[in-house]
Amino acid sequence: MNALFEKLFRLNDHQTTVGKESLAGVISFLSIVYIIAVNSTILSDAGIPLEAGIFATVASAFVGCVIMAFWANAPLILVPGMGINALFTYTMVQSMGLSWQEGLLAVVISGFLFIALAFSRLSAKIVSSIPHSLKEAITVGVGLFLTFIGLQKGKLVVPSENTFVALGDLSDPFVISTLLTLIITIVLFIRNVKGNFLLSMIAGSVLAFLLGVRSGAEKGQSAGSVNDFFSSFGTLSFGAIGDVAFWAAVFSLTMVLIFENIGLLHGQLGMMNQGSKFPRAFQATAASALLSGVFGTSPTVSSVEGASGIAAGGRTGLTSLITGVLFLSSLLFIPFIKLVPDSAIAPILIVIGALMIQNIKNINLQDLTEGFPAFLIIALIPLTYSIADGIAFGFIAYPLLKLFLGKMREVSMFMYVSALLFFLNFVLHYIA
């Protein structure tokens, strides 16, 4: 077996062993396994049955990790991305009016576009043409959006007619459970405990049970049949393919996919001085994103948590293969995953949001031609409840400010075209 792994993954060339790679794969899995419950819960807000969301999350993670293992031979973990799942559910479906079946078709088409770019020479040019400040602002804005969603799911803030949102009822057992779980989540994360999010989710579920809080499954809201597990597989709808909103969703999703994955892949491959693997890793990520729509979930991305496996010594695709196999085995624990309440999931969203917000330090806020468009993205993503609209305002404002201040040469042609497309999208929406 060792000889086979050596032949497939060139372990000696990477100065690693089967033992090191296996341990790194287990650590990566424990760091990211929480995504099964979190992603399926967010997908359920789009109307996808919880069981189908769990299956789609596991299947896409397994296939994505296998593709990364054998095509790129990199220890990177592909799972449905936080932020992109919010874009799918809360922007494309809830705000833009697509059904989840139409949204999955948009995921597949975005995947095709992503693949076309990944296998061409245009990717490097497009990456360099997007201002650094806007890339960072998207991350920060999505972080605030996830935080807001987490606060809502945990009932720490509730809708209010007078003030938009108001503080939740602190005497509510659900809110108490959320707050206690949030404290546990923060402490475990700060202390860098292995599998911190998984442990906090388990602890939060136990606390919720002790306080009398029940998940939707326990209340009988998600008691589905076996067929429900596969109800989103291959369920694509072409009903909105002629609508402006559909293509606006495809455009926005493709942009976010490209920007986010480029940043993640460069960062993680840089940790190992394996930058030469970027082209194939980028291509593997694109193929996995396309297949995600077929399986019935929002697109996969290279997870930040995969860095834990790299830190543990993972250097080849064997790490991601081990993680993928562990994801597949987690299907045996679906009955337990369905019992996780929102009060145990909300704190994870809040902490992830806090981590993403830290990127604001990389934005030059002193130069308002850079800082103000970034500010628009950061503010409008959560306030409009739309990642796409927030990005659009920033991408339109950036070239306009540069143009009016005589700095038009600082803007790439791609940015001018993108601004025009975003503007036309707003105009067409207004006319419609």
Write out the residue range of the structural domain in which residue 250 sits: 1-213+237-354+364-431
359 lies in some domain: no
pLDDT per position as a tens digit, 381-405: 888 877 778 888 998 999 999 998 8
341 lies in some domain: yes
Residue 263 has pLDDT above 70, yes or no: no
Q: Which residues contact 67 (CB under 8 A, 6 or more apart)?
A: 78, 284, 287, 288
pLDDT per position as a tens digit, 109-154: 999 999 999 998 877 677 678 888 888 888 788 788 888 888 988 8
Q: List, in sequence order, every residue forming a beta bridge with 158; answer none if it has no partner.
A: 166
**Which tokens is 273 given?**
């001085």
Predicted TM-score of the model (pTM): 0.77
Q: What is the mean pLDDT of the chain?
A: 86
Q: Length of the chain in residues, anyone?
A: 432
168 lies in some domain: yes
Closest CA to 394 of 415, 416, 380, 377: 377
Domains of the chain: total: 1
226 lies in some domain: no
227 lies in some domain: no
63 lies in some domain: yes
232 lies in some domain: no
274 lies in some domain: yes
Locate the DSSP E strands across 148-257: 157-160, 164-167
pLDDT per position as a tens digit, 332-383: 887 777 778 888 888 888 888 888 888 898 898 899 999 999 999 999 988 8
352 neighbors 361 (Cβ within 8 angstroms): no
Q: What is the pLDDT of residue 220?
A: 46
